[in-house]
Amino acid sequence: MESIVIHGGCEGKEVSPAEQLERTQGVEQAGIIGWEHLAAGAAAEDAVQAALEYLEDHPAFDAGLGSYPNLVGDYEMDALMMNSRGEAGGVACIQDVQHPIAVARKVKEHTPHHLLVGLGAQWFARLHGLPPFRVGPKTQRQPTDQEAAELLDRYLEIIENQTRYSTVGAIARDTTGHICAGTSTGGIPGKLPGRMGDSAIIGAGTYASQAGAACATGVGEGIMRLAVTRQVVQALAQGLILDDAIQNILAQCSHEGIPCGIIAMTAQGHTLAAHNGTFMPVWQAAQRR
Ligand code: GLY
């Protein structure tokens, strides 16, 4: 059964109807793009990459072009791709690339490593022919020491009051039964420079195995601490039904005050999404041949 599920981030505050519509339509379009790849017989990786690249180019999502800036106005992005054979590649705190998920896939397919960060990840992207791409205004500058000190004073307030987590994620199962999952994000707004969230970390923002796959969105520190996606897939491996696998870990997140949204897929291609926030656009499709 070919199958796909896409999300466009879980929000912690009310989202206006206009923004809900824009993001719902964006996720739907990304889903259709991914689905067309699957229907044409493409690999799950191609479907996930195409869907997430669309969302990375869409300014309404916190990934690629729409990434939130960090505390000093730079755009540092995280992404990871992992498949049901356990093959994984990710990038963290990467700047100046259009599609972090494309770089993550190249890490997966062209290196023995699982994660490249910062300048090394950018260098690797150039090496593989991915040109420089400026995310955000060109006028960004580093703050002076005094400005940085003032920003740091405000940092905890910024982080405590932030409720936007429009990270994007996708899971696809192709005609061969192979599953791939991917996540891409600009991270939480106002984060400290060099802060890596859950999205690039295996078992936190994304996980896949022969038992299924999951992607998470929300506050990365909590998602990392609970190894959210690893727990979902582990629960599937232990025989839990998809709903229970997701709800168990979501209950833990809620108990600990961690805003979180999850999409997941079983080995057979059944999909489900759930969240403890106010809004999470999701698109899913499946077809038995
Ligand atoms: N979940 C996105 C982040 O915390 O970076």
217 lines ligand 1 (CB under 6 A): yes
Domain holding 270, by residue range, is 2-134+165-287
Flag whether 172 is in a domain: yes
For residue 67, is it within any domain? yes
Over residues 3-40, the pLDDT tens digits come to 999 999 998 888 899 999 999 999 999 999 999 999 99
d(Cα 165, Cα 8) in Å, to the nearest integer? 9
Q: Which range, of 129-138, 149-158, 175-184, averages the lowest pLDDT? A: 149-158
Ligand 1 center from residue 289 Cα (angstroms): 36
CA nearest ligand 1 atom 5, residue: 187
- Residue 144 domain flag: no
Question: Beta strand 179-185 with 168-173: parallel, antiparallel or unpaired?
Answer: antiparallel
- The predicted-structure confidence for 191-227, as pLDDT tens digits, reads as follows 889 999 999 999 999 999 999 999 999 999 999 999 9
Q: How many domains does the chain have?
A: 1
Whether 140 has a pLDDT exceeding 70, the answer reads no
User: φ, ψ for residue 285 (rounded to 5)?
Assistant: -155, 150
Q: What digits encode the pLDDT tens for the residues 123-133? A: 999 999 999 99
How far is Cα 29 from Cα 272, in angstroms, rounded to an integer? 19
Distance 226 CA to ligand 1 centre (A): 14
| CATH code for the domain of 279 | 3.60.20.30
Question: Does 45 reside within a domain?
Answer: yes
Ligand 1, atom 4, residue with closest C-alpha: 220
Look at residue 237 and tell me whether its pLDDT is greater than 80: yes
Whether residue 185 has its Cβ less than 6 Å from ligand 1: yes
- Reduced to 3 states (helix: H, G, I; strand: E, B; else coil), residue 221 is helix
Q: Is residue 225 part of a domain?
A: yes
In a domain, 186, yes or no: yes
Please, which residues have CB within 8 angstroms of residue 118's CB and are 6 or more apart in sequence? 92, 93, 94, 95, 194
